Structure 1
Amino acid sequence: MDYLPLFVDLRKKPVLVVGGGHIAARKIELLTQAGACVQIVACKLCKPLITMTEQKNVEWLAKYYHIQQLERVFLVIAATNNSQLNGQIYQDATNRYLLVNVIDDKPLCSFIFPSIINRTPIIIAISSSGTAPTLARLLREKMEALLPSHLGKMAEIADQWRDKVKERFAIPSDRRHFWDKAFTGIFSSQMAVGKLEEAKRTLNHQLSNINISRGEIILVGVGPGNSGLLTLRGLQVMQLADVLLYDYLVSDEILNLGRRDADRICVGKRAHDHSITQEEINNMLVTLAREGKRVVRLKGGDPFIFGRGGEEIQAAAEAGIPFQVVPGVTASLGATAYAGIPLTHRDYAQSVLFMTGHCHSNGIVPDWETLVHPYQTLVIYMGSIAVTDISRQLIKHGRDPITPVAVISRGTRKDQNVLIGTLRNLPELALYAAAPTLFIIGAVVNLHRHLAWYQATE
């Protein structure tokens, strides 16, 4: 281990920074966030530092460096473009047993700045020991995506509750068990959505009823299939799931991002093949949650856009099960973007209308008159079964038979395919499209040949 990681309390401690440029400003901003009393030595200051001195956040001590400035300081940072001066500052500070950092000069550093993830009071520092700072930054970015923003607030509340928990549980392992349940359960979910008072009540409840587990249901929209379109919140929730319920629209690459030891249950339905009914899915969600499990229901696209997510959440609400919803990129937005087809365009379409080709069995008939406006883009989900009737009805009610159409198959995925034609031959195009498919009808389809950018790769 080349460096020993330390977290230093800099509150109200003097730190000397020699240099007044933008590099120095970045370090000074970090130091002031940690509460340090920064003293600057520089011939001139960049604009951000001038502002900071005017606001009394830092002190402009002198224009020129002198060894006496090292008296009664805690840390020293050299950020000048004069290598000889930087070397002198390093030697002077080292002779006085002061920690010193010369920016971008590893041999002249007795301490280095790590790449930081700030979830105060949770602080995570990543370092490559000065060998590859860009790699450290990339690692930080990946970890940032996994760590929710409410971690800091959870830690603050945990600190407030430490004495209560110690009083309730004398054995350390019991205390760990309590906090394990809190940080991965309902308390964490409530903190994530800002329900602070409810979260505190949950801790109270768990403190009094440690053996009583409360489950929850979380609907997560995972997008059209490409894992890059999964939201950060969706990924975080999947990592905490006890059970993952998924359907056929959830791609393997997304499913593999879930918690490894979570139970996985496929509740998929296909046209003419409803091996499990919606009512059975609703009952399964409620039953699993009542067993104290965090049930994450993965749904392709967005749960509330032709995904029957509303029905599943209604079942949770009626059963008194805590629930939340994580929106997703719906297929109409993801697939068309990857196909280079803007849904609206000033020259071609002033509105867009979404519809499903798979209607409720109660016989509700689409209002075809509203679907045939020439300057409107029509997006049809799940239209393959009724594609012949859709094409015929649109033409019958006034849509031009040569209106451009696109059939997007498996949009955003590696095997995405886009077929272009006209409304008249839409049924023939649909025959060659693998599910899931999306129909786009309107003049904006003509932009595909100019704007298509996504090249699927193996």
Structure 2
Amino acid sequence: MSAPLFPLFADLRDRRVLIVGGGAVAERKTDALLRAGARPRVGAPELTPRLQGWREEGRIDWIPGRFDAQWLSGAWLVVAATDDTAVNRAVAAAAEARHVLANVVDDAELSTFQVPAIVERGPLQIAISSGGGAPMLARHLRRQLETLLDDAWASLAELFTRKRQHIRQRFPQPAERRRFFERLLSGPLPRLFRQQQHTQAEQHFQAMLDGHAPSAHGSVAIVGAGPGDAGLLTLNALRAMNEADVILHDRLVSEDVLRLGRRDATYIEVGKSATGHSTRQDDIHALMLEHARAGKRVVRLKGGDPFVFGRGGEELEILRAHGISYEVVPGITAAVACAAYAGIPLTHRDHAQSVKLVTAHCKDSFDTLDWPSLAQERQTLAMYMGVAGLEGLRDRLVAHGRAPSTPFALIENGSRRDQRVVNGTLADLPETARFHQVRSPALLILGEVAALADTLHWFGAPPVGAPAHTHSRNLPAPTLQAA
């Protein structure tokens, strides 16, 4: 096993670095060096158009021709970025003789320094190296870290850099400073920067520095979990779930999504069901307030998007009324995700120029809907109603002018492993749903675009249609609509 590398961060501002090679790889290395403030000197017979542009702008120097050891004069580092093994070996040997650190791209044996994979958030940098032996592993880890570290880290690093001397004066002992930073980072400061509340963040920092710590109230993040596929969870949702002390989740949030949350968080199901046990909305409000007042970071995790039939607005009103800090992380709402996973475009130039999102779970809510508007053609209806009331829905739409032949798609468990799509026409909607025993969670898409599920489906099993014996019964005659 080779000896471990010694990690360091080099200050290359206004220092000369030689790059041997004028192709695409040399261009990438030069770009990184320019961002670090170095003075690149590129030696090569020819340059890429971008390198040539930098030369014309005076940002780099160009030495035309083949490598000569004299090119290393005055260089602090050298990068060999050619596809000629003999040239790369000559660069490495010349650098070794002059005690200049060299990186030979894709050749760890010839290199005396490696360029790590970098995660950068303002002045904060994380360098990842495999010692040159497994660069793809370092890149993979970098991608994972990119998803976990948001831009708030850049603001934190800039603040701590500006206030470094003040912090050292206030807390001269390292142990005191460590405890101070732990309190800052576990409190609301990162969240305030995430929410672009920079003035409040600075005020909170100063209060903590002065020893006037605010009360230890926690916070609540209202987070959309999407329709079920964990891959549709947003990065902000994943970060919130990994920071949470308590996660209050709906019944329909999938196990795949819940497994991505913080392992030692407290998970409390607060789901609602039309047929089984339900948690009252007032009880959910009480749980949010209880845990936030205890100083906990609470995630209220909702299926889909919290602001689309998710009562997210009601919960924010309660939090605001009681002085609890909050943030909202949108999710992919079921209409968008389930339709996409069924191969149904909600809008289509030839079929639908508008979309309406509708919910109706009981007779009273049915009576409040604008049926003449919902029955118009060339629009898509996305009905968040599961499988309840399909007969009443069909009758009202047909009575107000929607054609009985209008296609529909019922998407059961949309985006999940057991997704099922049932399609047919409006005339036979309730009978088809009963025949296939469609169960909640299910979303109804009604409109001409629903027929595209037959040809555009790509996820899970193909759609299933109405049974052969199903036929339209006598439906109410459509009413004439005023022009």
TM-score (norm 1): 0.94
In the TM superposition, residue 353 of structure 1 has moved relative to its aligned partner by 0.8
- AA matched with 1:296: V
Counterpart pick for 1:325 among 319, 324, 328: 328
1:66 deviation in Å?
Answer: 2.4
Report what 1:87 is aligned to: 89
Equivalent residue, structure 1, for 2:442: 437
User: Aligned equivalents of 1:211 and 1:377: distance in 2?
Assistant: 50
Mean alpha-carbon deviation: is it higher for 117-126 or for 336-345? 117-126
Q: Is the 8 A contact 1:190 1:199 kept in 2?
A: yes
Matched residue, 2:257 = 254
Structure 2 residue 345 is the aligned partner of structure 1 residue 342: yes
Aligned to 2:12: 10
1:378 to 381, 387, 396: 381
Contact 2:386–2:440 (Cα < 8 Å) also in 1: no
CA distance in 2, matches of 1:84, 1:337: 53
2:10 is paired with a residue of what secondary structure? coil
Q: Which amino acid aligns with 2:157?
A: A
Partner in structure 1 of residue 191 of structure 2: 189
Map 1:102-113 to 2 at 5 A: 102-113=104-115
Q: 1:286 to 1:359 in 2, by over 3 A?
A: farther
CA distance in 2, matches of 1:66, 1:2: 31
Higher alpha-carbon deviation: 43-52 or 63-72: 63-72
- How far residue 359 of structure 1 moved from its aligned partner, in angstroms, is 6.0
1:176-215 alignment, distance < 5 Å: 176-207=178-209, 208-210=211-213, 212-215=215-218
Partner of 1:452: 457
Alignment counterpart, residue 149 of structure 1, candidates 145, 148, 151: 151
Q: What CA distance in whole angstroms lies between the structure 2 residues aligned with 1:6 and 1:168? A: 29
**Structure 1 residues 102 and 342: CA distance shift in structure 2, 3 A:** same
Q: Specify every segment of 5 or more residues in structure 1 that has no aligned partner in the other structure, as ranges.
A: none
After TM superposition, list the pairs within 5 Å mapping 1:18-417 onto structure 2. 18-207=20-209, 208-210=211-213, 212-273=215-276, 275-358=278-361, 365-417=368-420
CA distances 1:194-235 after superposition (whole Å, capped 9, x unpaired): 211111111123332347313111111110000000001111
Aligned length: 456
Retained in 2: the 8 A contact 1:185–1:294? no
Cα distance in 2 between the residues matched to 1:359 and 1:406: 21
Distance 1:60 1:360 in 2: 78
Give secondary structure in 1 for the equivalent of 2:267.
strand
Question: d(CA) in 2 for partners of 1:131 and 1:169?
Answer: 42
Change (3 A) 1:272 1:336: same
Percent sequence identity over aligned pairs: 43
1:424 corresponds to 2:427: yes
Residues 178, 210 of structure 1: 8 Å contact kept: no
User: 2:258 is matched by which residue type in structure 1?
Assistant: L
Tell me, yes or no, if the aligned pair for 1:357 and 1:384 is still in contact at 8 Å: no
- TM-score norm. by structure 2 comes to 0.90
Return the offset for 1:25.
Answer: 0.7
Deviation at 1:360, TM superposition (A): 9.8
Whole-Å separation in 2 of the counterparts to 1:421 and 1:316 = 44
SS at match of 2:243: coil
Q: 1:69-126: per-residue Cα shift (whole Å, max 9, x none)? A: 2222110111223322221111111011211112222322111222211113211122
Could you report, residue by residue, the CA deviation over 1:360-400 in whole angstroms, capped at 9, with x for unpaired residues? Answer: 96886111000111211111002422222112211221212
Q: Distance in 2 between the 1:79 and 1:322 partners?
A: 52
Q: Distance in 2 between matches of 1:68 and 1:48?
A: 25
User: What SS does the aligned partner of 1:212 have?
Assistant: coil
CA RMSD between the two structures: 2.0
1:62 shift after superposition: 4.4
